[in-house]
Structure 1
Amino acid sequence: MKLVVLGLSLSSSWGNGHATTYRALLAAFAARGHDVLFLERDAPWYASHRDLARPYFCRFALYADLAELKRRWRSEIETAEAVVVGSYVPDGVALGRWVQESARGVTAFYDIDTPVTLARLEAGDADYISTELIPGYDVYLSFTGGPTLERIMRRYGSPAARALYCSVDADAYRPSAQPKRWDLSYLGTYSPDRQPTLDRLLLEPARRAPDLRFCVAGPQYPPDIDWPANVERLEHVPPADHPAFYAASRFTLNVTRADMIAAGYSPSVRLFEAAACATPIVSDRWEGLETLFEPGREIVLAEHPEQVLQVLRATPEPGRRAMAEAARGRILAEHTATHRAAELEAHLREAMEASAKPRLEQGRRATIAWF
């Protein structure tokens, strides 16, 4: 299959979770024998933070604007068996309209931010997808599963909404023996709706337990946050260093955005990365999490600082390791990039078959009419 992907970023993981998702997924997809071209808008905030300028698994190119995209890459879009447009792509509405008009193969929208997208659609301020565009995509690939998929089809007219969760490259994310630097870590870009949970499940435990060590890694945190003295701050951890970051953590924290909690069934890539590295996870609660990890055996769920401190202080080392290994086993069995690439292929094949049926039926009617 010849696949063209127009996504937010493949070359830079700075301040976004899209790059690591695309890297793992498309590397595994290419390993299945497919040809992949990734086209990325040349944004200045990513230009100075590119940590994968030349991906080994696909062809890659930057474009300055929609006019250049149409001029240089029209033929690739027209002749591809499948074209995927990602969420948050600049000028996504105009770009998506052009793709739907030009592509001869199937078209898909890959929403790495589904609950946020739907909330923005309801508010009328989505600038990368529109209610008019959704029915024109042959398949809506969603980071969120569960009831949201039915909502996308029923309310917005998608012919096929399918879950395509994030995943992890199991070759890149694996356990390593390192001294434990922190009792609890968190890796994530600042988000106002995540900050109250981060305050409750990491900063407050840090204030109450000055003898324990904590870390918050990620960009864009406001300068007025009152960081406890035992919380180390790292501005950015590139993907290549994620496994070492997790390995240095006795536990790591997962914090989910408010829209994703409301929708449920919206796992973060950090869940899969940490588990693949055999680092046990403390997470906030949301519907559908139990379909991914077994609470109490593969993951710890917490709502209050006291619960976090109980986990950090009272979990014996054999129990901590057993939980980490159980979660890693779950990931290797169900959530690697290899699994997700097979799902992507299946969803695109399904869309191809569905789009071929009307053409076949139209051909039969034309033949009957001619006779």
Structure 2
Amino acid sequence: MTKALDIVFLGLSLSSSWGNGHATTFRGLLRGLDELGHRVTFFERDVPWYAHHRDLRDPDYCDLRYYDTVQELRRSHERDLQQADVVVIGSFVPEGRAVIDDLASLCTGLFCFYDIDTPVTLARIAEDDCDYLARRQIPYFNLYFSFTGGPTLHRLELEFGARRAEPLYCSVDPERHHRNRNVIKWDLGYLGTYSPDRQQTLETLLLEPARRLPDRRFVVAGSQYPHDIDWPDNVERIEHLPPAEHAGFYNRQRYTLNVTRTSMVEAGWSPSVRLFEAAACGTPIVSDRWPGLDSFFPATAIQTAGSADDVTGILLGQPDRARLSMARQAHSLVLERHTGVARAREFTSMLARARQTRPVLDLDVESAA
């Protein structure tokens, strides 16, 4: 698309990265869209748990607005929603089903869904336990953007009725994430909010190596970890690390660990933003294994591990020259393919294709409810 677009997003959060990975994903994409000259508005439900932990109050690349109820969203912002060229609703939006039903017949531009949690969403829909998206609503969208690529895209179209499913992965801002000359403090670090289905992998790939290597230094940064976790003495804990401090954190690690949620491992093709952030900082990565990882990072640009032995072997056996060569390859790949601007270009290209083939859809939302 060549003209500047008016794009509206409704997402879980932009203002707060506390306890969620949505904020950093939206920030990268929206900043990229702004750099390309598009006008972006982001609507966020004003909830206390994010209000108390806001680390982005006044973004310079979009208009951030808050709303209290679904009714107030439409009453106060109907004109903006109706006249936007594109409206994108994200996963985990509070009362998302009601928001979708309310806006499906209101929006005159492209109507899209951005699923940052695709495997979780599809599992919940299959169990009729998804409060932010109903199965019947999936065909409403001109485009279903998915954080997960690969076979899941075909499943969305064939099994769930998506009109067009496209991958839209996370991205990184190279101005905020880059190499610096920080002194290495930790041999291996991990950044991520606590998740029960990641904890066993974290135990295997970081805590057990820490116990085996008491003279090495480790770190885990992230919120909501239970108080009864047995942290080894050589594992430093950081309760919350705001995005502005991520680059410094990565630059003080010899290696950083990537751990993927179980549902994402099973689906494959679901890269975490932490992969791109670390690579942009020139930090060598050790990742758990999942299908599709090599489509983002070839074996020469990343280390993978499935056991504590794998990790200790990497920490003790890989020479610095090989470690840094691996990091340089990953750094070049990310700057070429996975920046916010690169992702924004992909996003607008997919919008252009959808607009060219856009069918007329007669929605009777009330009868479908």
TM-score interval, normalised by the smaller of the two chains: over 0.9
Q: Distance in 1 between matches of 2:153 and 2:169?
A: 12
Q: Among residues 131, 139, 158, which one is paired with 1:127 in the alignment?
A: 131
| CA deviation profile, 1:145-201 (whole Å, cap 9, x unmatched) | 001000000011111000001110111110011111100000000000000000000
Q: Which residue does the alignment assign to 2:88?
A: 84
SS of residue matched to 1:61: strand
Shift of residue 358, structure 1, vs aligned partner? 4.7
Q: Which residue does the alignment assign to 1:93?
A: 97
Larger radius of gyration: 1
Shift of residue 124, structure 1, vs aligned partner? 1.3
TM-score (norm: length of structure 1): 0.95
Q: Distance in 2 between matches of 1:226 and 1:217?
A: 15
Q: Distance in 1 between matches of 2:257 and 2:199?
A: 13
* Matched residue count: 357
Shift of residue 230, structure 1, vs aligned partner? 0.4
| CA deviation profile, 1:216-254 (whole Å, cap 9, x unmatched) | 000000000000000000001100000000000000000
SS of residue matched to 2:114: strand
Question: Structure 1: any 5+ residue segments left out of the alignment?
Answer: 360-371
Give 1:205-216 correspondences, 5 Å limit.
205-216=209-220
Shift of residue 202, structure 1, vs aligned partner? 0.2
Q: Distance in 1 between matches of 2:257 and 2:82?
A: 44
> What amino acid is aligned across from residue 237 of structure 1 in structure 2?
L
> What amino acid is aligned across from residue 147 of structure 2 in structure 1?
F
Q: Distance in 1 between matches of 2:43 and 2:36?
A: 20
1:264 corresponds to 2:286: no
Q: Which runs of 4+ in 1 moved over 6 A?
A: none
Q: Distance in 1 between matches of 2:231 and 2:307?
A: 19
Q: Which residue does the alignment assign to 2:155?
A: 151
TM-score (norm: length of structure 2): 0.95
Shift of residue 353, structure 1, vs aligned partner? 1.7
Q: Among residues 28, 32, 39, which one is paired with 1:28 in the alignment?
A: 32
SS of residue matched to 1:303: coil
Q: Which residue does the alignment assign to 2:175?
A: 171
Q: Among residues 29, 49, 63, which one is paired with 2:53 in the alignment?
A: 49
1:318 corresponds to 2:324: no
Q: Distance in 2 between matches of 1:123 and 1:208?
A: 42
Q: Distance in 2 between matches of 1:144 and 1:331?
A: 18
> What amino acid is aligned across from residue 90 of structure 2 in structure 1?
G
Q: Among residues 338, 342, 364, which one is paired with 2:341 in the alignment?
A: 338
1:18 corresponds to 2:22: yes
Shift of residue 348, structure 1, vs aligned partner? 1.4
SS of residue matched to 2:41: strand
SS of residue matched to 1:140: strand
1:307 corresponds to 2:310: yes
SS of residue matched to 2:301: coil
Q: Which residue does the alignment assign to 2:122?
A: 118
Shift of residue 20, structure 1, vs aligned partner? 0.7
1:294 corresponds to 2:301: no
Q: Distance in 2 between matches of 1:127 and 1:354?
A: 30
SS of residue matched to 1:107: strand
Q: Which residue does the alignment assign to 1:220?
A: 224
Q: Distance in 2 between matches of 1:131 and 1:347?
A: 23
> What amino acid is aligned across from residue 163 of structure 2 in structure 1?
P
Q: Distance in 2 between matches of 1:358 and 1:248?
A: 53
Q: Distance in 1 between matches of 2:102 and 2:253?
A: 46
Q: Distance in 1 between matches of 2:239 and 2:276?
A: 22
> What amino acid is aligned across from residue 352 of structure 1 in structure 2?
R
| CA deviation profile, 1:271-301 (whole Å, cap 9, x unmatched) | 0000000001000100000100011x10001
Q: Among residues 339, 346, 350, which one is paired with 1:347 in the alignment?
A: 350
SS of residue matched to 1:5: strand
